């Protein structure tokens, strides 16, 4: 099924300034790497003790006025000068420490915000994949609603996914015609997943609010439904996927897995689909008021950053909002300000005793703070490694290990720019695994996932290091080949086609059949400036390969 991001997210500080670059290269914070030089004050090296001072005062009349002033300066001003120098040194050093702490706090917030954005993208991708999967399921059932023994098919689909509580096929009056459950079906004509589609003839998809199940006691769900309309536009039937909220929340909670992190999915009308962590004293069917400063629906704001006090735990949270227009949902991830600053504050608390010791014993305190700075540096390096792993998760398809569509677009755009500057050929392969849906339907999605992973391993083992392989969606993959003309690309595609057929067989068959793939090949034209044009022509060639019987390579004639 869907991939689950199960990484721990931490937060650190550090900016790419010259000062912090010196920290990374030397392993020391500059404020503690300086050598503190104690200057020797002018004058006698031994101060006069009080017991001798009174005796000398008896002979003051015999001494000159100049000598008397010199002794006065030595006895009164010199100790004060030493104290003043120490105070100045301590004040200067402490001011540098305070500045370092303040800068570290700012950097911790910046790093924490970056890590929270990466986690938001990973969770957003998981939610979109889940919703798109169920949208595909109901769309597929809409075309097969008159299939004999449809109830058995619905039960089979429901058994493949623990999140599917029920699958329903409703008549035009809201009665259940087919469902994946056992026994007499409940009355659902009053449910929003039917009434919303009945009352709005223009709506093509509806995600319903959280409701309590009538067929499954003590179970909560939300729904995804799709209408099937007659030629005159009237409602003919409704296909509904009932999604178990507890299983849905469990998968998201495993992906969240960060102390202080939160996740919410809210409809545009304020109905809460899910909220993590779960607040037990809040109703499941709650409805909230969305912030007034959100952009209007349909304006495509992308990622929106906000900071506010949560009404649930009363904590100040940094929030990241994204609107899903196809599903009319807001996806919100958040992290508490305390969590963003936890490592920074941990370092500060560790440094407080050392700071006190530094004021009492200057050198000992400096050495102790150096040890604390090294601990902080190790934490920063560990968190930088974690950030790099999160960036990898945001750019790689977790199932197959190939690049995802977003990362492919970035790399392909760079390659096309290089080609325009320096010349050369760029070719594109688009391949699709033949009859992959049949593999999933007959042997289940886990076996289908194994096939996808194995195909990627075969392809990757026969490409150059400069070639770019990505999962384009479902069972479709794409390969960008720099410095490759059409003839060579066709040879590579044919080699890959043969290797896939020879290396893989469909599981569970008494007479194994090879897993095959169809290929479309195209080469960038001199007048083309957009990657989409190249993909479109390769895609046309792919569909031509499918039309001619699959398991073949077709080349764009242009």
Hey, do 258-339 and 405-555 end up sharing a CATH topology, with the first three levels equal? Answer: no
More confident residue, 19 or 209: 209
Q: Are 340 and 113 in contact (CB under 8 A)?
A: yes
More confident residue, 412 or 351: 412
pLDDT over 50 at 37, yes or no? no
pLDDT over 60 at 139, yes or no? yes
pLDDT over 50 at 28, yes or no? no
pLDDT for residue 17: 35
pLDDT for residue 373: 56
The CATH homologous superfamily for domain 405-555 is Reverse transcriptase/Diguanylate cyclase domain (3.30.70.270)
- The Cα–Cα gap between 493 and 428 comes to 10
Closest residue by Cα to residue 250 from 478, 14, 4, 15: 4
| pTM, two decimal places | 0.47
Average pLDDT of 448-469? 92
Average pLDDT of 415-422? 89
At the top level of CATH, the class of 143-246 is alpha beta
The residues spanned by each domain of the chain are 1-140+342-386, 143-246, 258-339, 405-555
**Of the ranges 104-108, 242-246, 379-383, which is most confident?**
242-246
pLDDT for residue 363: 58
Average pLDDT, the chain: 78
Which CATH fold topology does 258-339 show? Beta-Lactamase (3.30.450)
pLDDT over 50 at 474, yes or no? yes
220-273, pLDDT tens digit by residue?
999 999 999 998 889 999 999 999 999 999 998 888 877 778 888 999 888 999
- The Cα–Cα gap between 145 and 241 comes to 14
pLDDT over 80 at 379, yes or no? no
pLDDT band (50, 70, 90) for residue 318: confident
533-550, pLDDT tens digit by residue?
999 999 999 999 999 999
pLDDT over 50 at 8, yes or no? no
**Left, alpha or beta for 557 (phi > 0: left; psi -120 to 50: alpha)?**
alpha
Share of the chain above pLDDT 70, in %: 77
Q: Are 516 and 551 in contact (CB under 8 A)?
A: yes
pLDDT band (50, 70, 90) for residue 60: very low
Q: Are 523 and 424 in contact (CB under 8 A)?
A: no
More confident residue, 449 or 147: 449
pLDDT for residue 181: 87
Cα dist from 364 to 93, 377, 414, whole Å = 13, 20, 53
Burial status of residue 483 (CB atoms within 10 A of its CB: 0-12, 13-18, 19 or more): middle
């Amino acid at each position: 099924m869907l991939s689950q991001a199960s990484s721990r997210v931490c937060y650190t500080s550090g900016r790419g300034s010259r000062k912090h670059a010196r920290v990374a290269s030397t392993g020391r914070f500059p404020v503690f790497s300086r050598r503190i030089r104690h200057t020797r004050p002018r004058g006698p090296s031994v101060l006069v003790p009080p017991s001798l001072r009174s005796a000398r005062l008896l002979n003051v009349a015999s001494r000159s006025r100049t000598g008397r002033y010199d002794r006065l300066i030595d006895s009164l001003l010199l100790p004060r000068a030493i104290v003043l120098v120490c105070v100045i040194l301590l004040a200067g050093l402490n001011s540098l420490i305070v500045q370092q702490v303040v800068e570290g706090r700012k950097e911790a917030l910046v790093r924490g915000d970056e890590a929270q954005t990466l986690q938001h993208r990973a969770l957003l991708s998981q939610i979109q994949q889940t919703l798109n999967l169920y949208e595909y399921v109901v769309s597929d059932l809409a075309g097969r609603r008159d299939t004999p023994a449809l109830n058995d098919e619905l039960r089979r689909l429901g058994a493949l996914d623990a999140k599917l509580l029920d699958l329903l096929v409703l008549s035009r009056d809201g009665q259940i015609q087919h469902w994946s459950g056992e026994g007499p079906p409940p009355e659902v004509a009053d449910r929003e997943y039917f009434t919303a589609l009945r009352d709005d003839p223009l709506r093509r998809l509806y995600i319903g609010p959280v409701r309590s199940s009538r067929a499954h006691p003590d179970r909560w769900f939300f729904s995804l439904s799709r209408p099937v309309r007659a030629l005159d536009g009237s409602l003919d039937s409704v296909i509904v996927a009932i999604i178990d909220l507890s299983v849905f929340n469990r998968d998201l909670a495993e992906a969240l897995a960060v102390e202080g992190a939160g996740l919410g999915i809210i409809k545009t009308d304020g109905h809460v689909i899910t909220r993590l962590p779960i607040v037990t004293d809040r109703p499941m069917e709650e409805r909230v008021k969305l912030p007034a400063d959100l952009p209007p629906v349909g304006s495509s704001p992308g990622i929106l950053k906000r900071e506010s006090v949560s009404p649930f735990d009363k904590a100040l949270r940094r929030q990241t909002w994204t609107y899903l227009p196809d599903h009319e949902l807001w996806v919100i991830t958040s992290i508490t300000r305390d969590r963003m600053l936890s490592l920074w504050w941990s370092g500060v608390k560790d440094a407080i005793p050392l700071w006190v010791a530094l004021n009492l014993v200057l050198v000992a305190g400096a050495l102790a703070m150096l040890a604390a700075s090294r601990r902080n540096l190790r934490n920063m390096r560990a968190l930088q490694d974690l950030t790099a792993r999160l960036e990898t998760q945001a750019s790689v398809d977790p199932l197959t290990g190939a690049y995802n569509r977003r990362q492919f677009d970035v790399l392909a755009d760079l390659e096309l720019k290089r080609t325009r500057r320096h010349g050369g050929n760029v070719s594109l392969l688009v391949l699709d695994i033949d009859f992959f849906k049949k593999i999933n339907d007959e042997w289940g999605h886990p076996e289908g996932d194994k096939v996808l992973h194995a195909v990627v391993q075969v392809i990757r083992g026969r490409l150059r290091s400069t070639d770019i392989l990505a999962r384009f969606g479902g069972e479709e993959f794409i390969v960008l080949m720099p410095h490759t003309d059409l003839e060579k690309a066709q040879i590579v595609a044919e080699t890959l086609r043969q290797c896939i057929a020879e290396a893989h067989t469909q599981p569970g068959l008494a007479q194994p059949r090879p897993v095959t793939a169809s290929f479309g090949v195209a080469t960038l034209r001199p007048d083309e400036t957009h990657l989409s044009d190249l993909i479109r022509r390769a895609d046309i060639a792919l569909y031509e390969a499918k039309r001619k019987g699959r398991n073949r390579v077709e080349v764009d004639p242009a």
